[in-house]
């Protein structure tokens, strides 16, 4: 499994719509938009998508990095392990 970081997301994107956006590349195991709990659960503008298959994750990274969604250019790369 490979996890991707997705940055510069429009604030309207939800975890469900993020999953839907990336499911065209393969089986999405999980998709989570990070929210600010102290600010009415507003999106922080980034999230993580985990794929069952590494090649699907690689293809999604190639295709979606630099893609425009609602006027914002996405930044997609492999997520770094938590410290």
pLDDT tens sequence across 28-51: 999 999 998 887 888 999 999 999
Q: Which token pair is 26? A: 């393969």
Global confidence as pTM: 0.92
The CATH architecture one would assign to domain 2-70 is: 2-Layer Sandwich (3.30)
* Cα–Cα dist 55/12, whole Å: 28
Q: Which token pair is 51? A: 């794929």
Cα 60 from chain centre: 10
Q: Give the model's pLDDT for residue 14.
A: 95
Confidence of residue 80 (pLDDT cuts 50, 70, 90): confident
Residues in the chain: 83
Burial class from Cβ neighbours inside 10 Å (0-12, 13-18, 19+) for residue 12 reads exposed
């Amino acid at each position: 499994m490979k996890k991707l970081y997705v940055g510069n997301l429009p604030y309207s994107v939800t975890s469900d719509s993020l999953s839907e956006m990336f499911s065209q590349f393969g089986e999405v195991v999980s998709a989570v938009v990070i929210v600010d709990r102290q600010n009415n659960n507003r999106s922080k503008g980034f999230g993580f998508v985990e794929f069952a298959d590494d090649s699907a994750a690689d293809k999604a990274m190639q295709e979606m990095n630099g893609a425009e969604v609602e006027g914002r250019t996405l930044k997609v790369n492999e997520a770094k392990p938590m410290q």
